[in-house]
Amino acid sequence: MFDFELIDSSLEGSMMGENPAEQARLATMAPRLRDDIGGLDGYTIVDIAPVRDKALSHHLESCGNCALSFAREVGAEIAVTGSVQKVSNLILNINAYAFDVETGRPLARGSADIRSNSDESWRRGLAYLWENVLAGQLEDAR
């Protein structure tokens, strides 16, 4: 499970730069999803520390198969990436993807739209995505 990335396509982001509150929210996303995935039978979370800096220096959703390469380096069988796309302070989208490292085959993918840029909406959006989409797909993948 790699760290979530922020895709800020809002005018605010291009004019004002990074928003510290959003960065703090972003930092909570992967740990929450790691805990959820680690709670499933048959899944063990692999420490990404040896490749974290490399992963953070790439945009994992658009770098080809670099997430698979990084996951392979740490001995993971599944690579999980995530992002939050900010269209505006009212419209955001949480995305997560899981791929088989050996084959590159998608195992799980989902998206949740949220309406408001707050701690609560990000938390609820990720919980919804996990409970209603990703958990079942990952259970079926094992």
Q: What tokens appear for 49 in the block?
A: 């520390």
CA–CA dist 110, 82 (Å, integer): 10
pLDDT at position 61 is 82
> β-strand 5-8 against 78-86: which pairing, if any?
parallel
Element (H or E) spanning 129, and its range? helix 119-129
Considering the entire predicted model, what is its pTM?
0.92
Please indicate whether residue 64 or residue 79 has the higher confidence score (pLDDT).
Answer: 79
Mean pLDDT, rounded, of the chain: 94
Token pair recorded at residue 3:
């760290």
Q: What is the pLDDT of residues 26-67, one digit of tens each?
A: 999 999 999 999 999 999 999 999 999 999 999 888 887 899
On whether the CB atoms of residues 108 and 96 are closer than 8 A, the answer is yes
